[in-house]
């Protein structure tokens, strides 16, 4: 178990180093040598987990997929808001997410398949929009797949503009403006009336998830202690 835990930590260290280098250099200019130096691991350790620079990049890109789940809400439109604003918050605060976005938009990364994050984003939004449509929350003309693609593309443009203009400092405000413009053309006004949308929404959802994770970890630790017959408290 200790050996497995060490391997997991090493993999996370390598991915974090790769994210830092990819964000700073871009895919084309990044090198395995620089990633090794940043991670502080041996070449053997790196190649045990990742076979190539392309494999490393895909590892960074796939990390975004682990960060797109939000708590279930009474309204699926609220869940869409929460997914989008949470991603915007993490883009501002999480180097791994920033690196993934940098890679997905890096037009110099000719050898890298960058379609994954866009397809995954589209899939998540289509599922939420399908569920929203089934609940009668959407306007009659809305086609979930088309709307999902428009939202993914619009977000990509807004985040790129925010990065260029303010280094992502105004991203939360820009994303709120985007949703305020798009959602009235997608959802019924009666549904939107109960939706919470603000520049602070992404951070609030992030804190909610962090508190839930902490509570779950504490419950698991208590269960282990109890199973081992050690009194709790």
What pLDDT is recorded for position 8? 87
Give the dihedral sign, CA 107/67/176/24. negative
User: In the structure, what pLDDT confidence band is assigned to residue 61 with cuts at 50, 70 and 90?
Assistant: confident
Question: Which pLDDT value is given to residue 67?
Answer: 64
Both tokens assigned to 187: 């959802």
Mean pLDDT lowest among 11-15, 53-57, 103-107: 103-107
Residue 174 burial (C-beta neighbours within 10 Å; 0-12, 13-18, 19+): buried
pLDDT for residue 165 = 96
Q: Using CA of residue 204, residue 157, residue 146, residue 66, what is the dihedral sign?
A: negative
For the whole model, what pTM was predicted? 0.83
Sequence ranges of the domains in the chain: 2-62, 64-219
Q: Is 187 helix (H, G, I), strand (E, B) or coil?
A: strand
135 pLDDT exceeds 80?
yes
Q: Which two tokens stand for residue 148?
A: 């999902």
Q: What is the pLDDT of residue 65?
A: 65
pLDDT for residue 228 is more than 80: no
CATH fold match for the domains 2-62 and 64-219: no
- State the fold for domain 2-62: Arc Repressor Mutant, subunit A (1.10.10)
30-45 average pLDDT score: 93
**Number of DSSP helices (H) and strands (E) in the chain, helices first:** 11, 0
Q: Please give the average per-residue pLDDT across 96-110, as a whole number.
A: 83
- 113's tokens: 């398949």
Burial 89-110 (b: 16+ CB within 10 A, else e): bbbbebebbbbbbbbbbbeebe
Highest mean pLDDT among 14-18, 57-61, 130-134: 130-134
Mean local confidence (pLDDT), 138-153:
97
Question: In this structure, which topology does domain 64-219 adopt according to CATH?
Answer: Tetracycline Repressor; domain 2 (1.10.357)
Look at residue 171 and tell me whether its pLDDT is greater than 80: yes
Q: What angle do CA 168, 170, 171 make, to 5 degrees?
A: 60
What is the model's pLDDT at position 233? 53
Query: Among 33-37, 88-92, 96-100, 192-196, which stretch is predicted with the lowest mean pLDDT?
Result: 96-100
Cβ 187 vs Cβ 137: under 8 Å: yes
Residues 192-215: pLDDT tens digits? Answer: 999 999 999 999 999 999 998 888
Contact 139, 187 (CB under 8 A): yes
Residue 1 has pLDDT above 60, yes or no: no
What is the C-alpha to C-alpha distance for residues 130 and 142, in angstroms, rounded to an integer? 10
């Amino acid at each position: 178990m200790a050996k497995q835990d060490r391997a997991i930590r090493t993999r996370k260290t390598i991915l974090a180093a790769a994210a830092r280098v990819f964000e700073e250099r871009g895919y084309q200019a990044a090198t395995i040598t620089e990633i090794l130096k940043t991670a502080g691991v041996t070449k053997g350790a790196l190649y045990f987990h990742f076979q190539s620079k392309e494999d490393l990049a895909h590892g960074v890109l796939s990390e975004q997929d682990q960060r797109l789940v939000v708590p279930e809400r009474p309204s699926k439109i609220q869940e869409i808001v929460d997914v989008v604003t949470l991603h915007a918050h993490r883009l501002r605060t999480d180097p791994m997410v920033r690196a993934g976005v940098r890679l997905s938009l890096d037009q110099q990364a000719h050898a890298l398949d960058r379609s994954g994050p866009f397809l995954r984003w589209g899939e998540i939004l289509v599922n939420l929009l399908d569920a929203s449509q089934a609940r009668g929350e959407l306007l009659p003309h809305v086609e979930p797949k088309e709307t999902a693609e428009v939202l993914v593309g619009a977000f990509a443009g807004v985040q790129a503009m925010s990065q260029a203009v303010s280094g992502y400092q105004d991203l939360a405000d820009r994303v709120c403006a985007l949703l305020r413009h798009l959602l009235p053309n997608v959802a019924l006004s009666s549904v939107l009336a109960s939706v919470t949308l603000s520049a602070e929404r992404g951070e609030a959802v992030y804190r909610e998830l962090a508190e839930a994770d902490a509570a779950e970890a504490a419950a698991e630790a208590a269960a282990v202690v109890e199973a081992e017959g050690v009194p709790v408290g």
